[in-house]
Amino acid sequence: MAAPMLNIATARERVLHSAAPLETEDVPVGEALGRVLAEELRAAHDVPGFANSAMDGFAVRSGKADRDLLVVGESRAGRPAEFPLGYGEAIRISTGAMLPDGADAVLQQELVDDRGERITLLDEVAPGRNVREPGEDLRAGDHVLGAGTRLGPASLGVAVNAGRATLRCARRPRVAVLATGDELRPPGTELGPGQVHDSNRITLTALAEREGAIVVLARDVPDHTDATRRAIGEALELADVVVLSGGVSVGPHDHVKPALAELGVEERFWRVALRPGKPTWFGARGRTLVFGLPGNPVSAMVTFLLFVRPALAALQWAEPPAGGRAILGERILCHPDRDECVRVRLEDGRAFATGPQGSHVLRSMALADALVVIPRGEGRALAAGTEVELIAV
Ligand code: AMP
Ligand code: MG
């Protein structure tokens, strides 16, 4: 009897068990968007590094309103005043400019009667008014970002403020995408009888790139023993992760599994109690991971999201993106013996299936905001209103 099918969580554990983090490298901060930080980042110094003005106005000593002061100089952004503030004096100041010694507050321009050489303060001035103190944003030594952070625009800016020009990041995983099938034709070509456009090469490449991978090879492979073995052999030389689509089943034209065995790729699992995506294969040769995903376009994408994405994240020291939660907007029947990944659209926190869910109906993915896993159960259904976990698409 065939081995029992794995459930999704066990299959994913096996993948993660094989996905050791890659080496790290220093990346210029301007090139690190989307990369994953592989260090604990601390601030090298206080930010701001000096007391400065939050307003355009006048640096003064705190005190009562209606004071008449002599304007003795100016502090501009990047060009502080050259002398301290004395009694009865004010210094013109710009936003972000350094607060002169002797001043403890700033009164904004709008609350000053400005006559050039002399001014009158039209409001009482409390100590610290309109002053940004050193370290209000970051203190020297503060923990700023943790290893595993996917670097977005704000993280990059904070890293610059923390004093950094480069960041230690995980190396980007190299991915090879091989789409098998004699029926496959490139995008835009006219189709002969029985032919289909090769969408998996495009979707799987895009999914890999979105997870931070470099796709070093993406091609079609005919359903032929030697061609399959040669293509996989080449991919294994180039890539950290080989993603195959199709040809992994047990039909007479499915050459992937024998080729993998011949090339010394060791099977870690085959078949998952999942719909769509039952015929999913995973193995490894040394540190190189190999995924044999089903050819049906939805199955290929769903199994990438469930198994390949966590692997790419782990290789980069990261976690896959969190999906959040929602409630079902409609009743959904359970499949008797496989957990089902239903493509849903979200409306006000409620999840609705995106129409026909066949594994060849790629539109159901294109319309989806998320996936929901509906647990298996003979004769069961999840009622509308059931809280469910979402998987980001
Ligand atoms: P297979 O897993 O090779 O048996 O393929 C299952 C189904 O997926 C068949 O209908 C294939 O035509 C289709 N298919 C396989 N590979 C692709 C691909 N790269 N793009 C679109 N459809 C595909
Ligand atoms: Mg095929």
- In percent, how much of the chain has pLDDT > 90? 97
For residue 338, the CA-to-ligand 1 centroid distance in Å is 21
Helices (H), 91-224: 153-161, 200-210
Q: What is the pLDDT of residues 333-380, one digit of tens each?
A: 999 999 999 999 999 999 999 999 999 999 999 999 999 999 999 999
State the distance from the centre of ligand 2 to the C-alpha of 294, rounded, in angstroms: 9
Residue 24 scores a pLDDT above 70: yes
- Token pair 């400005």 is found at 114
Burial of 226 (0-12, 13-18, 19+ CB in 10 A): exposed
Ligand nearest, relative to CA of residue 245: 1
Which residues does residue 339 pair with via DSSP β-bridges, in sequence order? 274
What is the sign of the dihedral through the CA atoms of 77, 83, 84 and 87?
negative
- Is the Cβ atom of 196 under 6 angstroms away from ligand 1? yes
Please count the other Cβ atoms lying within 10 Å of the Cβ belonging to residue 72: 17
The reported pLDDT for the residue numbered 361 is 95
Distance 293 CA to ligand 2 centre (A): 11
**Ligand 1 mutation target, pool 196, 221, 303, most atoms within 8 A of CB:** 196
pTM above 0.75, yes or no: yes
Which atom of ligand 1 is the closest one to the Cα of 179?
19
Mean pLDDT of 239-247: 98
Count the neighbouring beta carbons within 10 Å of the beta carbon of residue 79.
Answer: 11
318 vs 2, higher pLDDT = 318
Q: If you ran DSSP here, which 8-state letter would residue 307 be given?
A: I
Q: How far is the CA of 199 from the centre of ligand 1 (A)?
A: 9
- CA 298 to chain CA centroid, nearest Å: 22
- Beta-ladder partners of 175: 215, 241
What value does the mean pLDDT of the chain take? 97
Q: Please report the pLDDT score of residue 231 as a whole number.
A: 98
363 C-alpha to ligand 2 centroid (Å): 20
Q: Which of 205, 256, 296 to mutate to test the pocket of ligand 1 (most atoms within 8 A of CB)?
A: 296
Taking only the tens place, the pLDDT of each residue in 188-223 is 999 999 999 999 999 999 999 999 999 999 999 999
The answer, yes or no, to whether any atom of ligand 1 lies below 6 A from the CB of 202, is no
CA-based torsion, 275, 337, 326, 303: positive or negative: negative
